Amino acid sequence: MKARSSIDVSEAMRLAAAGRFSEALATLRGAMSGPIGGESGDSARKASLEEDPSTGGASPPVGPGDARRAPASSDPRPAARWPAGILGFSAHGELPRAMRALVNRFGRPGPPPRLDGLPAPLPIRPRSILPRGARFEEWAFRNEAGGIGYKLFVPSGCRGDPAPLVVMLHGCTQSPDDFAAGTRMNEVAEEQLFLVAYPGQSQAANPSKCWNWFRAGDQRRDQGEPSLIAGLTRQIIRDFRVDPRRVYVAGLSAGGAAAAIMGSAYPDLYAAVGVHSGLACGAARDMPSAFAAMRQGAPAARTKRGDPESRRAVPTIVFHGDGDKTVHPVNADHVIAQVKAERRLAVAVSRGTAPGGMDYTRRVQSDERENPVLEQWVLHGAGHAWSGGSAAGTFTDPRGPDASREMLRFFLQHANPAIAPRTELATQVAGDDAG
């Protein structure tokens, strides 16, 4: 390619990182020899994404560890600088075959693809009808790694005793409101009395609002996005009546991969993990390996003995459709294998059909005390969507078993052994004060 083409591709990368995909596409078309995929410019314009105005304004200033009311879509982190090659472009402006196929889809009619390969949904504003006395509020957290907005649901019945907390990590292009509407986790929380937190990724951190599960710096304890998610979790525990022994994390797709990371990095914080259509911690270290892992699966990364994250294998429940064309179903097996490691567990297999008509296979692995440690649901014929979810949100499949209720059932069977019960803590504090 000519030198001019390399310059044009660099400019396209800059536009794409800013969310200006239609302009980036036009620049790419001029940089490459002939149209990409043979689509017309009119089709490309129809496939353009709207820019997210929320990323243009400054978020309220917050000090380290402070909680302030802030829009869930705000993100005090500086806009990410995307170096050449981060999306698969080579330094010389050439597109690898896998990325060329992805970019081709930007020229097709309808919504453009996301970085995880799914078509981006049209912007929606899910309606949220709160029960009387319940709250769904916007907050923000900041530490040395940056800042993040999140929404917190507090059910109307949570008034006295400490309640469990579930941290929900959305998928690419989704928002806290969208994810809450699609999973209906707030409805379950209102019935069974637990808090739900929805951290919100922004386009400043990732153009498609994906959690950066594929970056080495966002896979480690006390670094990057894990430190932000753990930080807001601790903030909620501190500021609300939360039972610290019953704190859980779950996610879909990129959020599922991020949830696996949180369980691996913070076994002292989360009592159990839910991974829906996600990948194992360390399945990728950069964008090329991320596409490879999504396409064909990747073996689970092994943690070194003696590392804080390897001291306890966090109980994990996994959902994955065997018809998933975005994240290969074998990744569910890798998530299970990573948590199981070398332990010998008893296995029980059952099969059934959800009320919506979807068949499934459920595999439960228990320890010598008959405590369920691993639970895997294979959703037969399902694609890349939250099982049993509501059509009010994006990327849901109402036909399947209710993943939200099943995850909560699994979660509540587990309390974090790394944290003493509140009665023991109170006795210890009283003893320290007396001394």
The closest of 247, 240, 248, 316 to 281, measured between CA atoms, is 316
Would you kindly state where each structural domain of the chain is located, as residue ranges? 3-55+89-107, 135-422
CB 281 within 8 A of CB 259: no
Residue 244 has pLDDT above 70, yes or no: yes
What pLDDT is recorded for position 327? Answer: 97
> Which of 101-105, 178-182, 403-407 has the weakest average pLDDT?
101-105
Characterize the bridge pairing of strands 146-154 and 195-200.
Answer: antiparallel
The closest of 28, 26, 34, 32 to 10, measured between CA atoms, is 28
Residue 356 has pLDDT above 80, yes or no: yes
What's the CA gap between 330 and 58, in Å, rounded? Answer: 41
What pLDDT is recorded for position 291? Answer: 95
What pLDDT is recorded for position 422? Answer: 60
**Which neighbouring-strand residues pair with 363?**
349, 376
> Which of 43-52, 218-227, 287-296 has the weakest average pLDDT?
43-52
CA distances from 138 to 65, 99, 117, 210, 236 (A): 16, 37, 30, 20, 12
Residue 77 has pLDDT above 50, yes or no: no
Three-state secondary structure along 407-431?
A: HHHHHCCCCCCCCCCHHHHHHHHHH
Q: Does domain 135-422 have CATH number 3.40.50.1820?
A: yes
What's the CA gap between 11 and 5, in Å, rounded? Answer: 10
What's the CA gap between 106 and 44, in Å, rounded? Answer: 6
Q: How confident is the model at residue 26 (pLDDT cuts 50, 70, 90)?
A: low
What pLDDT is recorded for position 128? Answer: 62
Q: Dig out the tokens for 370 from the structure.
A: 């008959």
What pLDDT is recorded for position 55? Answer: 28
